Structures are given as C-alpha cells and as structure tokens.
Structure 1
C-alpha cells in the first residue's frame, strides 16, 4: 500500500482538497482530529484534555492504518497523520501519546504534501488564532523534515490548480 499524507496548519485548505480528491475517486481517509474535537467540544480546555484528545486521535489513526494494511499496492491519501499529532503535542506542551512510542514514524508514509496556508478563517472547531496557525504549520513542517520525509510543498493557488499539482505528482510517481 502506498500512503500519501496531505497536511499543513489549520487554514491550509486540506479538508476541501481531500473532499475533491475523494469525489474524483481517490481512496482518502478524512481527518480524524476534527471528529474527536467535535465529540469533545464541551470539555474544559486544559492540558489534561489536550492530552486525552491527542491520545484518542492517535489510537484511532493507528486503528485506521492497521485496517488499511490489506490494501497492498493501492494508494491511500490521509488528511493528516500520526506525525501531526506530535506537532500538536509540542504546540500544547504535552507528552506524545504512549501508543505511538513504538512506531517508526520516519518510515510510515511514502509522500507528504504540505499545503501552504490560506488566509485565516475561524470556524466552530478551531480554537487557534492567526499566530497559532502559523506556529502549528511550522511545527508540522519541521517534524516531518526532521523525520527525513521529502516534503512536497503545495503553494497557495486556486483549488483546481492545487488538485492538478498533486495529481500530476501522483501520476509521475506511479
């Protein structure tokens, strides 16, 4: 199975892009984090809650990736990955979930697309401000880079051009 990650900070257009790729027939795994944030939106925001959320996200991501191991030879596109959880743990100044301790994150994904940030927009789930968004984006980029991933940066352009950019790369890749 070939695993491709599409990521970036909040407000980078990931969800819209992932939804279009899904509509075009690509096998995509939506962002697990958003579902967890919605489920736990009434909980008090503190370090313990952030830690609980990241652990739930990691457990669900690991379970989803294990489910997909039977898709050998097929392309799977992820909206974020376990590595993003590490970035958010750094951002919230909490320890990473123990469930990812024994996973070799430097060899887990074949390609990583990091979307450049779009203009900031607040929504019902997002708690970050514009400065936070940039910090998170830089943490995500830095952790993927430090783990040795070749990052394909997707510049700001209209959505169709972003889709074409990614599809052109995927076609060249195989």
Structure 2
C-alpha cells in the first residue's frame, strides 16, 4: 500500500485537490486539525490552539484515521497532512513537541507508514481566512517554510506542485504517482 501526503500552507488548495482525487476514485484520508478546531469551536472554545492538549488531540485523530484506513484494500491512499504537519503546527505555535507527537513521528518512521515523496502544494499567492483558519498571508508563508523545514529535516523529498488550475495540479500529482510507482 502506498500512502502519499499532501502538505503545504493553509489555503494552498490541498483540500480541493484531495476532493478531486476522491471524486476520481482514490482513497483519501481527511485532515485532522481543521476538524479538531471546528469541534472545539462548536463547543464554545473560540481559540482551541491556545489550550494544552490541542496538539495531542490532533495526533490522536490523525493516528485513528490512518489506522482506520488500513482496512481498505486500496493500493494508493492520499493523506491531507500528517503528524509531520502537526510538528510544524506545534513549532509555529511556539510549543515544544509533546510526547504523543514525538511517539507518533517515531512510529510512522519505524513502520514506514508514508512514502518519502511528499506532495508540497505551493501557496496560491493569498490565504482566505475562515472560522478555523485565522491566519494572514504573511503568517501563512512563515508556516509554509516551517512545513518545508520539518519534512526535509526528517528525510522526506518534496515534490512541489506549483499554483495552477485544480485539474492541472491533480493531473501533475497523478502523473508523478504513476512515475513513482513505476520505479518501485
């Protein structure tokens, strides 16, 4: 089973790409952080990222979703972010990585959970704030750089997907995947 990560700054188009991949019949595993934020905000916690346990909650949900995806027989899976993105988030928020995060990163490396080729979705030149995404474009660029540094420091190869139409970005990703699968 091949598990590929899509990462990048908030608002880069990752979710739209993942939805198109799903529409084309691929197995997709949704991002955890946005769901954690939305759930907390519905519970009255307007800024859940300032509370202890925020990162751990994301890590638990990511692991739960990754393990649940094992039940499928799909030869190829796409992940909207990974625990390495959670490491980037932790660094961006100024937190030291919690033990749950460090253990999960160790597990995914030990068990070779994800392919070492990561699709790095480059920013679109703007970042549209949402209820869960309260970040300026300048902040998004800093966050993008932190993501890049985290992945590279852990030995992942970034396959950059430049801004373009949704369909051209999806086509580039699926072509790369065919090329990568042919090499393995």
- What TM-score do the two structures reach when normalised by structure 2? 0.86
Written as runs of structure 1 = structure 2, the 5 A alignment for 1:126-137 is 126-137=133-144
Q: Give the structure 1 partner of residue 59 of structure 2.
A: 58
Residue of structure 2 in register with 1:30 after alignment = 30
Higher mean displacement: 52-61 or 71-80: 71-80
- Closer/same/farther in 2, CA of residues 153 and 132 from structure 1, 3 Å limit: same
Question: Is contact 1:28-1:79 (8 Å) kept?
Answer: yes
- Corresponding residue for 1:79? 80
Structure 1 gaps, min length 5: none
Q: Which residue of 1 aligns with 2:149?
A: 142
Q: Is the 8 A contact 1:47 1:94 kept in 2?
A: no
**What TM-score do you get using the length of structure 1 for normalisation?**
0.91
How far off its partner does 1:2 sit? Answer: 1.1
What whole-Å deviation, never above 9, does each CA across 1:128-165 have from its counterpart, x for those lacking one? 11111111111001100110101100001111110110
Say which is worse superposed, 39-48 or 26-35, in terms of deviation.
39-48
2:114 pairs, out of 109, 129, 133, with 109
Within 1, Cα distance between the matches of 2:162 and 2:10? 15
Asked if the contact 1:5/1:113 (under 8 Å) is kept, the reply is yes
Q: How many residues align?
A: 173
Structure 2 CA distance for aligned equivalents of residues 27 and 73 of structure 1: 7
- 1:166–1:122 CA distance, 2 compared to 1 (3 A): same
Q: Which moved more, 1:63-72 or 1:78-87?
A: 63-72
Question: Unmatched 5+ residue regions in structure 2?
Answer: none
